[in-house]
Amino acid sequence: MSTANTIIDTNFNFPGQQRVYKGKVREVYTINNDLLVMIATDRLSAFDVVMPKGIPYKGQILNQIATQMTAATEDIVPNWLVATPDPNVAVGHLCEPFKVEMVIRGYLSGHAAREYKAGKRLLCGVTMPERMKENDKFPQPIITPATKAEKGDHDEDISSEAILARGIVSEDDYKVLEDYTRKLFQRGTEIAAKRGLILVDTKYEFGKTKEGNIVLIDEIHTPDSSRYFYADGYEERQQRGEAQKQLSKEFVRQWLIANGFQGLKGQQIPHMSDDYITTVSERYIELYENITGESFIIADVSNIQQRISNNVNSYLSSL
The CATH number assigned to the domain holding 141 equals: 3.30.470.20
Do 122 and 236 reside in the same domain of the chain? Answer: yes
| Span 280-316, pLDDT tens digits | 999 899 989 999 999 999 999 999 999 999 999 999 9
Q: Are 227 and 202 within 8 A, CB to CB?
A: yes
Structural domain total, the chain: 2
Do 109 and 243 reside in the same domain of the chain? Answer: yes
User: Residue 153: what pLDDT?
Assistant: 57
Do 159 and 136 reside in the same domain of the chain? Answer: yes
User: Residue 4: what pLDDT?
Assistant: 62
Do 209 and 224 reside in the same domain of the chain? Answer: yes
Alpha-carbon distances, residue 310 vs 15, 305, 313 (angstroms): 12, 9, 5
Q: % helix / strand / coil in the chain, to the nearest 5?
A: 35, 25, 40
User: Residue 47: what pLDDT?
Assistant: 86
Do 143 and 256 reside in the same domain of the chain? Answer: no
- Of 247, 262, 283, the last residue of a domain is 247
Do 231 and 308 reside in the same domain of the chain? Answer: no
- Of 189, 212, 247, the last residue of a domain is 247
Distance CA 27, CA 9 (A): 8
Do 146 and 258 reside in the same domain of the chain? Answer: no
User: Residue 50: what pLDDT?
Assistant: 92
Do 77 and 142 reside in the same domain of the chain? Answer: no
Do 223 and 171 reside in the same domain of the chain? Answer: yes
Do 190 and 141 reside in the same domain of the chain? Answer: yes
Give me the tens of pLDDT residue by residue for the chain, a chain 319 residues long. 555 689 999 999 999 999 999 988 999 999 999 999 999 999 999 888 999 999 999 999 999 999 999 999 999 999 999 999 999 999 999 999 999 999 999 999 989 999 999 999 999 999 999 999 999 999 999 999 999 766 555 679 999 999 999 999 999 999 999 999 999 999 999 999 999 999 999 999 999 999 999 999 988 999 889 999 999 999 999 999 999 988 878 788 889 999 999 989 999 999 999 999 999 999 899 989 999 999 999 999 999 999 999 999 999 999 8
User: Residue 162: what pLDDT?
Assistant: 96
- Domain boundaries, position 135: 102-247
User: Residue 151: what pLDDT?
Assistant: 54
Contacts of 224 (CB under 8 A, 6+ apart): 25, 45, 62, 249
Do 140 and 213 reside in the same domain of the chain? Answer: yes
- Of 210, 229, 247, the last residue of a domain is 247
User: Residue 148: what pLDDT?
Assistant: 73
Please provide the distance, in angstroms rounded to a whole number, between the alpha carbons at the two ends of the chain: 36
Do 116 and 89 reside in the same domain of the chain? Answer: no
User: Residue 3: what pLDDT?
Assistant: 56
| Span 150-195, pLDDT tens digits | 655 567 999 999 999 999 999 999 999 999 999 999 999 999 999 9
Distance CA 89, CA 27 (A): 10
